[in-house]
Amino acid sequence: MRPNIRPAGSEDLGLVADLDQLCFSSGSWSAVAWAEEFSRLDQDRVILVADEGEVVGYVVLLVPSATEDPVDLLRIAVNPAERRTGIGRQLMSAALQRCAGRTVLLEVAESNESAAELYRGFGFTEISRRRGYYAGGEDAVIMRWQEDHE
């Protein structure tokens, strides 16, 4: 079943927070942090969910109102049981459609090859690194996308 990608509403808060826990375990955002994200939906946050009758994936963007400022892609994840079926690509595609004419930045752990491959597939390129940024000393890779990157 191909999921419906739709904007999240307040009714999705608990489901998305639970899925985040499943996807990131100790690195998941707290219930308070998720409540803060959802409280900013009418301000500078865009949260899209992949809905198959249940929420199987989500993406979170910070979209500043000043269009010259870059959008930050803060989070993307898919239920482990549903990975590698194209849902991440669908979420990214829907997210980037909302970023026409803008620059998008994100940060990915050096070892996170699945996410980095997904990002590269959309034309994200590495622009810098934060050395030893993550616990354990792993680098954070900063990647950038621009609609007119080609």
Ligand X SMILES: CC(C)(COP(=O)(O)OP(=O)(O)OC[C@H]1O[C@@H](n2cnc3c(N)ncnc32)[C@H](O)[C@@H]1OP(=O)(O)O)[C@@H](O)C(=O)NCCC(=O)NCCS
Interface positions with ligand X (CB under 6 A)? 23, 75-78, 83-89, 108, 112-115, 117-118, 121
* Distance in Å, CB of 79 to ligand X, minimum: 8
* Rounded-to-integer distance, Cα 13 and Cα 36, Å: 10
CB-nearest residue to ligand X: 88
DSSP per residue over 49-94, as a string? EEESSSEEEEEEEE--SSTTSPEEEEEEEE-GGGTTSSHHHHHHHH
Residue 48 CB, shortest distance to ligand X, in Å, is: 12
**Of residues 13 and 57, the one with the C-beta less far from ligand X:** 57
8 Å CB contact between 20 and 32: no
Contact (Cβ atoms closer than 8 angstroms) between residue 40 and residue 79 = no
Tell me whether residue 20 or residue 67 sits nearer to ligand X (CB atom). Answer: 20
Residue 116 C-beta: closest distance to ligand X, Å: 8
Cα–chain center distance at 88: 9
Q: How far is the CB of 113 from ligand X (least distance, A)?
A: 5
Which residue, 71 or 78, is less far from ligand X as judged by CB?
A: 78
**Nearest to ligand X of 71, 77 (CB atom):** 77
Longest Cα–Cα distance of the chain, Å, equals 41
